[in-house]
Amino acid sequence: MAWGVAGPVGWKTVVLGAALGWAAGAPADEAAPPDMVKAGPFERIFDQSVGEDTEWAMNDHCVVRDEQGLWHMFGITHPKPFVPFDADNFAHATARKLTQSPWDKLPFAMTVDPAAGEEHLWAPHVVRHKGLYYMYYCAGNQDHTRYRIHLTTSPELKTWTRHPANPLIIDGFDARDPFVLRLPDQWVMYYTATLRPDGGNHVVVAATSDDLVHWRGRTIVLRDPSVGQYGGPTESPFVVRRGPYYYLFCGPREGYVGTTVFRSRDPLRWSLDDHVGHIASHAAEVVRDVDGKWYVTHCGWGQKGLYLAPLDWNDGLDDAPTSLPPPGAKSPAE
């Protein structure tokens, strides 16, 4: 097979439903309204163009708060004209408060390393586990059917060390946009790809891990009827658990600035019928503030910066356990 998970035993595929027996046979969800999840007005909080001679764009990004209470944003950036395949640096900005405007611009967090097999730097995602920050990102490949997902780690979100196990995952077409979630007994990485490495249906894929480094399996968790290569409506997957439900945010759908939200009891299976919301956002990331309030981000090529909006849940689960507790509360990732 030309696609799969890179590891010491080579290429292999497993059925994750069997590996996650507790999720198999999950009861069907009851009907839910299509406007259960909504976003309020977006306000710009950061613009990479500030201090530059030309316009700079932001795209897929992540937001994380460090142990000292400082917020960090890492994301794709590129000067005009916007050429995604030449995005060679990760923007880095910080703020004392999530809603601060503007955030403080810092030097690039990382720069592409061709010697490490990197063609570009796309879509960073950071999780903290046992005192170490793990950043997953797309490193690309000249062969778009064998895109690489890499890992770099840091003790303090400043100095980053690429992991010797890279590439962690190789898949296509342009497999990218990793997002990592802690399940009860293992980690799951969601990313966007196509049904076959050379194209086909746009899909969200899941792989699992016990140690955040070695990943196994290729399970299709959402399959869109649209077919093609490059971008599609399953980009930028982000998953939030609230009570017994898993909410999947992905897009673009209904235009470039459009993220759809799906709900399921099974973290490895969503369908288009599970639609519970649509947000006017590209590359949406869900963020929880220290006061417990929920927010969602928006950015993208030609959008002139990074934006933040309140996120409203109308599911009656505000007091339920969640995968995204307020900063400072115990996180499932820890």
In tens, the pLDDT along 248-305 reads 999 999 999 999 999 999 999 999 999 999 999 999 999 999 999 999 999 999 999 9
Specify whether the CB–CB gap between 7 and 216 falls below 8 A: yes
pLDDT surpassing 90 at residue 232: yes
Closest CA to 87 of 120, 116, 115: 120
CA 214 from centroid of its chain's CA atoms: 18
* Better pLDDT: 332 or 71: 71
Specify whether the CB–CB gap between 259 and 281 falls below 8 A: yes
Distance between CA atoms of residues 186 and 125, nearest Å: 18
Tell me the backbone φ, ψ of residue 84, rounded to 5 degrees.
-55, -40
Distance between CA atoms of residues 133 and 2, nearest Å: 31
Which domains are present in the chain? Answer: 34-313 (2.115.10.20)
pLDDT surpassing 60 at residue 1: no
Task: Look at residue 29 in the predicted model and tell me its pLDDT.
Answer: 52
Whole-prediction pTM value?
Answer: 0.91
Distance between CA atoms of residues 62 and 42, nearest Å: 17
Tell me the backbone φ, ψ of residue 19, rounded to 5 degrees.
-70, -25
What is the rounded average pLDDT for all residues in the chain?
91
The share of the chain scoring above pLDDT 70, in percent, equals 90
Task: Look at residue 26 in the predicted model and tell me its pLDDT.
Answer: 37
For residue 133, how many other CB atoms are within 10 A of its CB?
20
